With several copies, the nearest count.
Chain A
Amino acid sequence: MAIDLHKYANPKRFLAITGAIYPWSVGLTVVLLLVGLYLSLFVAPPDYQQGDTVRIMFVHVPAAWMALMIYTMMAISSAVGLIWKHPVADLTAKASAPIGACFTFLALVTGSLWGQPMWGTFWVWDARLTSMLILLFLYLGYMAIWESFDDPVKAAKAAAILALVGVINIPIIRFSVDWWNTLHQPASVATMDGPKIHSTILIPLLVMGLAYTAFFVMVLIIRVKAEILKRRLRVLQIAELRES
Chain B
Amino acid sequence: MSFVAQNLACQRADQLIFEDVSFSLSPGEAVWVKGRNGAGKSSLLRICARLLAPLRGQAAWHGEDIFKDYDGYIGDYHYLGHLDALKYALTVRENIDFWAEFHGIPDVASALDQFDLQALSDIPTGMLSQGQKKRTNLARLTASSAKLWILDEPLSALDLHYIALFKERLIRHLAEGGMALFATHQDLELEQVKILDLDDWAS
Residues of A within 8 A of B (CB): 3-4, 150-151, 234, 237-238, 241-242
Contact = CB atoms under 8 A, between A and B. Distances in A.
B55 A3 contact: yes
B55 A241 contact: no
Contacts of A3: 11, 16, 55-56
A238 to B, nearest CB: 6
Nearest to A154: B53
Contacts of B14: 150, 234, 237-238, 241
Contacts of B19: 242
Most chain A beta carbons < 10 A, residue from B13, B14, B19: B14
B16 A4 contact: no
Contacts of A150: 13-14
10 contacts: A3-B11, A151-B13, A234-B14, A237-B14, A238-B14, A241-B14, A241-B15, A241-B16, A242-B16, A242-B19
Contacts of A237: 14
Secondary structure of the B side of the interface?
strand
A78 B55 CA distance: 23
- What 3 A-B pairs have minimum CB-CB distances, sorted nearest first? A242-B16, A150-B13, A241-B16
Nearest to A150: B13
Contact of B56 (A4, A234, A241): A4
A241 B15 CA distance: 7
B121 to A, nearest CB: 18
A234 B13 CA distance: 11
A150 B124 CA distance: 12
Interface residues of B, number: 8
Contacts of B55: 3-4
Nearest to A151: B13
A149 to B, nearest CB: 11
A242 B11 CA distance: 10
Contacts of B11: 3, 238
Interface string B99-129: 0000000000000000000000000000000
Nearest to A153: B53
A203 B14 CA distance: 52
Interface string B1-31: 0000000000101111001000000000000
Nearest to A241: B16
Contacts of A242: 16, 19
Given A4-B55, A4-B56, A238 B13 contact: no
Contacts of B13: 150-151
A234 B15 CA distance: 11
A149 B13 CA distance: 10
A154 to B, nearest CB: 9
A72 B16 CA distance: 37
